[in-house]
Amino acid sequence: MTDTPKRTPLYDLHVELGGKMVDFAGWEMPVQYPMGIMGEHKHCREKAALFDVSHMGQVILKGDNIGEKLEAICPQAYATLKEGKARYGFFTNEDGGIMDDLIVSNAGDHFFVVVNASMRHQDIPHMAANLDGVEVTEIFDRALVAVQGPKAEDVVGELCPAARDLTFMETTVADINGVSCRISRLGYTGEDGYEISIPEADAEAVARAFLAHDDCEPAGLGARDSLRLEAGLCLYGNDIDQSTSPIEASLAWAIQKRRKEEGGFPGAERIQRELAEGAAKKLVGIKPEGRAPARQHVEIQCAEGNTIGEITSGSFGPTVGGPVAMGYVAKGHGEVGEKVNLIIRGKAQPAEIVSLPFVQQNYKR
Partner 1 sequence: MTTYYSEEHEWITVEGDIATIGITQHAADQLGEIVFVEQREAGDEFEKGDEIGVIESVKAASEIYAPVDGEVVEANGALEDTPGALNENPEGDAWIYKVKLADASQLEDLMDLDGYKALIG
Of the candidates 149, 232, 323, 327, which one interacts with partner 1 according to CB under 8 A? 323
Per-residue binding string, partner 1, 344-363, x by CB under 8 A, is -x------------------
Q: Say if CB 53 and CB 203 are below 8 A apart.
A: no
Q: Which is nearer to partner 1, 174 or 286 (CB)?
A: 286
Of the candidates 30, 232, 293, 309, which one interacts with partner 1 according to CB under 8 A? 293
User: Taking contact as CB under 8 A, which single stretch among the options 32-40, 137-145, 197-205, 258-266 is the one that binds partner 1?
Assistant: 32-40
Residue 222 engages partner 1 in binding (rule: CB under 8 A)? yes
Q: Which is nearer to partner 1, 35 or 353 (CB)?
A: 35
Q: Which is nearer to partner 1, 250 or 319 (CB)?
A: 319
Q: Which is nearer to partner 1, 222 or 232 (CB)?
A: 222
Q: How far apart are CA 247 and CA 259, in angstroms?
A: 13
Q: Which is nearer to partner 1, 125 or 290 (CB)?
A: 290
DSSP 214-280: TTEEE--HHHHHHHHHHTT---BTTTB-TT--TTTTT-GGGS-HHHHHH--STTHHHHHHHHHH--S
Residue 36 engages partner 1 in binding (rule: CB under 8 A)? yes
Beta-carbon contacts of 159 under 8 Å, excluding residues fewer than 6 positions away, are 176, 177, 206, 209, 210
Q: Which residue, among 219, 189, 180, 258, has the nearest Cα to 51 in the 3D structure? A: 219
Residue 318 engages partner 1 in binding (rule: CB under 8 A)? yes
Q: Say if CB 22 and CB 29 are below 8 A apart.
A: yes
Question: Is the link from the previous residue into 161 a cis peptide, with omega within 30 of 0?
Answer: no
Q: Which is nearer to partner 1, 245 or 341 (CB)?
A: 341
Q: Which is nearer to partner 1, 267 or 327 (CB)?
A: 327
First to last CA, the chain: 39
Residue 37 engages partner 1 in binding (rule: CB under 8 A)? yes
Q: How far apart are CA 298 and CA 296, in angstroms?
A: 6
Q: How far apart are CA 226 and CA 31, in angstroms?
A: 12
User: Taking contact as CB under 8 A, which single stretch among the options 85-93, 192-200, 236-244, 289-297 is the one that binds partner 1?
Assistant: 289-297
Strand 86-92 with 322-330, pairing: unpaired
User: Taking contact as CB under 8 A, which single stretch among the options 35-43, 93-101, 103-111, 251-259 is the one that binds partner 1?
Assistant: 35-43
Tell the smallest beta-carbon distance from residue 333 to partner 1 (Å).
26
Q: Say if CB 295 and CB 314 are below 8 A apart.
A: yes
Residue 128 engages partner 1 in binding (rule: CB under 8 A)? no
Whole-number Cα distances in Å, 211 to 21, 69, 176, 186, 364:
19, 40, 14, 19, 22
Tell the smallest beta-carbon distance from residue 320 to partner 1 (Å).
11
Tell the smallest beta-carbon distance from residue 291 to partner 1 (Å).
5
Q: Which is nearer to partner 1, 260 or 295 (CB)?
A: 295
Of the candidates 164, 291, 331, 339, which one interacts with partner 1 according to CB under 8 A? 291
Beta-carbon contacts of 356 under 8 Å, excluding residues fewer than 6 positions away, are 232, 250, 284, 285, 326
CB atoms within 10 A of CB 70: 27
Of the candidates 292, 311, 351, 353, which one interacts with partner 1 according to CB under 8 A? 292
Site size with partner 1, rule: CB under 8 A: 16
Q: Which residues bind partner 1 (CB under 8 A)?
A: 31-32, 36-38, 222, 226, 291-293, 295, 315-316, 318, 323, 345
